[in-house]
Amino acid sequence: MFWWREQVSDGLWIAFTDNAAGNLALHVGDSPAAVQSRRSSMETELGVAPGSLRFMNQVHSANVGVASTAQPAPPPETEIDALVSPQADVPLAVMVADCLPVVFAGSTAGGGQASAVAHAGRRGLLDGVLVNTVSALRAVGASDIRAWVGPSICGRCYEVPEKMRTASCEQLPRLYSETSWGTPALDLPAGAEAQLETLGVETRRLGGCTLEDSRLFSYRRNPQTGRFAGLVWREQ
């Protein structure tokens, strides 16, 4: 069920699911009832309240929402690609199948915590979804922010047209890569790490290539695939 899971601070956990957890996305043609059942099973596994795990309507934007028990959740149709929980009191999920799942944790005044998740494909990364997420965390008082970059398509597999590589690397040079078969490519994890480090965010790249690892969903490998999730939650 989990490709990786770890307690990263007092009571706060981060994880990335694998194929054993099944598809967690409602937008890929799967049975909605089956998806909801898997999400409910995930909540049971995490030990969080039924229906509390927040997912997003991801559209490759740089928009950030807020998830708090003190205010209503964004409507399900709201197009966002990052969520911040100012008190880390709402379990969060980001769905991917080649793009970057990035999970954040930070400290707040009085020994509190803040958390966030972000979906960063090429477009979202260049448009600033990670920059905006860090800004949103700092706006709610978070400091000592850390980020975990989960499994995604790697720089040796993410083939792109030469013009796209050139334009992307003009904005973020660390994206530059070449496939293992010698064609232009982009290294999204390296680009994200470089961007986060310039923001003063301690970053851990967990590795894992979605195209190469059959335990993970990959759109490049199979366009009809499901989505796995990056998760952050606090023990109840």
Whether domain 2-152+205-234 has CATH 2.60.120.10: no
pLDDT surpassing 90 at residue 123: yes
Q: What is the pLDDT of residues 3-22, one digit of tens each?
A: 999 999 989 999 999 999 99
pLDDT surpassing 80 at residue 71: no
pLDDT surpassing 80 at residue 73: no
Sorted by where each begins, the domain ranges of the chain are: 2-152+205-234
Q: What is the pLDDT of residues 74-101, one digit of tens each?
A: 777 899 999 999 999 999 999 999 999 9
pLDDT surpassing 80 at residue 236: no
Query: Exposed e or buried b for every residue in 150-180, given b needs 16+ CB within 10 A?
Result: bbbbbbbbbbbeeeebeebbeebebbbbebe
At residue 221, the 3 state secondary structure works out as coil
Mean pLDDT of 146-164: 98
Best CA proximity match to 56, nearest among 98, 26, 23: 26
Q: What is the pLDDT of residues 167-225, one digit of tens each?
A: 999 999 999 999 999 999 999 999 999 999 999 999 999 999 999 999 999 999 999 99
